[in-house]
Amino acid sequence: MSNKGLFPTSLSKKYAMAATGLFLCLFLVGHLLGNLQLFIPGAEGKEAFNAYALFMTTFPLVKVLSYLTYFGILLHAVDGILLARANRAARPVRYAKENGAANAGWSSRNMALLGTIVLAFIAVHMQNFWYVMHFGEPGMYSLASGEEVKDLHQVVMDFFGPANSMAIAAVAFYLLAQAAIGFHLWHGFASAFQSFGLRSAKYTPWIERVGQAFSVLVPLAFAVIPVYLYISQH
């Protein structure tokens, strides 16, 4: 079979993309809810965010979820790369003239590109925070409960604040990444439902509308955070 790879058929690859994609949408929601605590000003915000970080790194169920998320991202990315490679191979000679815009949306035609940007972002983002949190030596913070934890809140503040000479570049990169996620979701959200065959005249328009709302609102909310942190500290 030409469609070798992680899955035996082209359709099972689709199911995997759809399942991991939708799961990662849930992850986005969870991640966003946590991040929103960065809007809480002052000491109260510091306490809330660091408590949240502790919870996220120690609570067993969350740990399981986070491993699932790593696995999901990895699977989604590897499967996506395999798909893109197989799809390129399915057309060895390209057209001299191709008018893709005539029949399909831009997002849907550029999922691999968008996905690559997002993947690069994830790597950078994890280096920026997750790596520092796990292997770096940031300052410590005492929670109200008395527990000593690494001060992730400060790490975030510094990253987008005057402490980082490249802060403006960081903000720009994060904005670009959110735009990529937005466009990726613009096609991906509804597409996942289609892949599972969840389509009907009655519900599909709603799925599409929810997908569009999701792909605008979630990345927008994410994007506001670095901007806010940058502006509020400069």
Partner 1 sequence: MNLTLKIWRQNGPTDKGRMETYPVSGISEHMSFLEMMDVLNDQLVRDGKDPIAFDHDCREGICGMCSMFINGEAHGPGRGVTTCQLHMRSFKDGDTIYIEPWRAKAFPVIKDLVVDRSAFDRVIQAGGYVSVNTSGNTIDANAIPIPKPDADEAFNAATCIGCGACVATCKNASAMLFVSAKVSQLALLPQGQPERDIRVKRMVEQMDKEGFGNCTNTGACEVECPKGISLSNIARMNRDFLSASLKGE
Token pair recorded at residue 47? 């306490």
**DSSP label at 92?**
S
Nearer to partner 1 among residue 58 and residue 200 (C-beta): 200
CB of 180 to partner 1, least distance (A): 17
Nearer to partner 1 among residue 8 and residue 136 (C-beta): 8
**DSSP label at 98?**
-
DSSP 156-214: HHHHHSTT-TTHHHHHHHHHHHHHHHHHHHHHHHHHHHHHTT---TTTHHHHHHHHHHH
Nearer to partner 1 among residue 99 and residue 165 (C-beta): 99
CB of 90 to partner 1, least distance (A): 3
Nearer to partner 1 among residue 87 and residue 232 (C-beta): 87
Q: Yes or no: say if 133 and 152 are a contact pair by the CB < 8 Å rule.
A: yes
CB of 84 to partner 1, least distance (A): 9
Nearer to partner 1 among residue 154 and residue 215 (C-beta): 215
What 133-138 contacts at long range (C-beta under 8 Å, 24+ apart), as own/partner pairs, is 133/53, 133/57
CB of 163 to partner 1, least distance (A): 43
CB of 38 to partner 1, least distance (A): 35
Residues 6+ apart with CB under 8 A from 66: 56
Partners of residue 140 on adjacent β-strands: 150
Give the footprint of partner 1 on this chain (CB under 8 A). Answer: 1-3, 9-15, 83, 86-87, 89-100, 102-105, 108-109, 111, 187, 191, 194-201
